[in-house]
Chains A and B, each alone.
Chain A
Amino acid sequence: MFAESSLNVRNKRIQNLFRILFLIMTILLIIPVVAILATLIAKGGSIISIDFLFTHPTNGMTAGGIFPALLGTVWIVAVALLASVPLGVAAAIYLNEYAGDNWFTRIIQLAIINLAGVPSIVHALFGVGAFVIFFGFGTSILAAGLTLAIMTLPVVIVSTRESLRAVPQAFREACWNMGATRWQTIRRVVLPNAVSGILTGVILEVSRTAGETAPIMFTGAVFFLPFLPQGVFDQTMALSLHLFVIATQVPGVPENLPFGVALVLIAMVLLMNSISIAFRMYLRGKKKW
């Protein structure tokens, strides 16, 4: 009764053609990256060991491990998180729980979008002008961490806001009806229901912060240090800058060393992201409302 007309057959064929075309495009987008990852593992995998992670570089950075760089990255990320998470969460609370839908909120949103879009090297210039020179922190972990905190602030604000928005309005209304103030509602009802979502955003921020190079180059990270940083006013080495340095500035580096560093860096970042994604999926499955 419904025999396929020739027009229908033709349309179906066009549809399948485009379906395959776009599938190929998607695959072509992914293949180079898989190939790159495979090359990194093939060329740098041999050098990775517990020793590599926990010993100092030797012979003018042409041998030895990456421990000071790894530790420096942890320092910088910690400072950046301590500064940006409280600020970002509070900003998201303001935007989602207090701010009305008006021109002022629009301007704040525009500022957040722009903060995320400012080139990383401009953030570096700001870090130099503001933290290193004006506030007198010098080139230090503190200056580098704060520069990265401002740069990644939009990540925290946007992801926290998403998870606050996911808390049903009825929860808040029920709480208000009991006579609770806005802050009591936020603290006892909204935040506990959103905390795991906020955490996924924070993990994502860790991965962003750990990989950045340009903003820390002039604010706190240095090419080489013979000792470990003792506090936030010290300079430090950092993993991302270390990769740049041994790939471009140091002569006579054996080939597998920079590949190994790149592999550690990329593994760290992808691991953080995977945890964040897995966590998000787990939460989505668990949600009762």
Chain B
Amino acid sequence: MKRSSTVPSRRDGQTLSQKPGNQNEARGINYESPAAKFGFGILGAVLLLGLWQFAAIRGTFGNGLPTVSATLIELFALFGNPEFWTDTFTTIWLAVLGMVIAVVAGVMLGLLIGTIDWVRYATLAVTEFFKPIPPIVVLPLCVMIWGPTNTMALALVLLGTVLSTTIQVIAGVNDTDPVALSTARSYGMGRVERLLRVTLPSASPYIGTSVRIGAPAALIIVVVAGLLGGAPGLGSAIYRSQSAGDFPQTYALVLVLGVLGLVAQNLSSMIERRVLHWHPAFREDVK
């Protein structure tokens, strides 16, 4: 899990693909058009599936790699299985709930730590200590306390996301423009009002970044909690199919996870773009 405190730079994706833009225009392909994006995206996926199928038929990885067709058949079989849907929804629910709690807790902690000096100094050593500890290390401890339960998975998600969200919010609070704060003060706005109406919106790009990084991370942690800790959800489903030697089902479940990750990533980016439409990184019209 990355805990960088960076705010999205200005349209990072676009500047990359626009650099060779002139050459591409000369060849008549506009890589920015939705059709081209979709088409080339499909091309990449198909190439990968082809490679997979080829390796599976050749038997490069022995039993460990089933064919694409066997996996897809198993995937469609899963769609008819109510247990699969329960697992999927449990995983999504735990990840979303964890993320929501992490953001609320992170914002409250971040505002507290970021604005009150003694709290900042009191928590500095503690946060620095916990920062490099990945949640997976704490997993055995959580299993010991809560057993293979939803609570355990949720606790693990929080351990993995609250701190990074808090650190982002602190960075956002520190980045609040002193001129904006002075303006608010000179107009007689109170401490709490300044915090909610100036500091919090100023920090919102940082909160957006933490959600964008945290949402896929939360999903991964829930799956790990299931896979290694036996918590309900897709993780333990993968574990069960794997230990039963049902590799096509294992791969089908991994595919589902991949899609969920993609959705989580895109959804959080979309919400970020909506909410932060005023931020220089997302502004639509440039003067």
Q: Do A and B bind each other?
A: no
Which residues of B are at the interface with A, using a C-beta cutoff of 8 A?
A: none
Which residues of A are at the interface with B, using a C-beta cutoff of 8 A?
A: none
